[in-house]
Amino acid sequence: MEIKYEKYGEETVAFVIGEIDHHNAKAARERLDGIIDRECPVRFALDLSGVSFCDSSGLGLVMGRMKKCNSTGCSMVILNPSNAAFKILEIAGMDKIIKIERGKQNG
């Protein structure tokens, strides 16, 4: 899995590319937390368009970052989830507790 990020004013967008599973969730969590801590965004967007596989570890990753953002006062949104990512988010009901924007351009 690869994580890149870009800053657009007060918004930081992190792009997750590859598989999110129990093998790489810890490294992803540390990387995303580091980005949030370093950039201090007003809005943190997690772009999941490049996710090819997502299991329950991905849910934990999203929920943990949402909790971290809430504790630091920034809002969080999921951008353009791939079908694999959206399916697990929807099954878990995450679409009811976090904003998911599909078809949005970054910036």
| Whole-number pLDDT of residue 18 | 97
| Whole-number pLDDT of residue 25 | 93
| Whole-number pLDDT of residue 104 | 65
Instruction: State the residue range of the domain holding 17.
Output: 2-101
| Whole-number pLDDT of residue 103 | 81
Residue 12 located in a structural domain: yes
What averages of pLDDT result for each successive group of 10 residues across the chain (107 residues)? 96 97 94 96 97 94 96 96 95 94 72
Q: Give me the sign of the Cα torsion angle 79, 10, 44, 52.
A: positive
Q: By three-state DSSP, how is residue 40 classified?
A: coil
Residue 106 located in a structural domain: no
| Total tally of structural domains belonging to the chain | 1
Residue 107 located in a structural domain: no
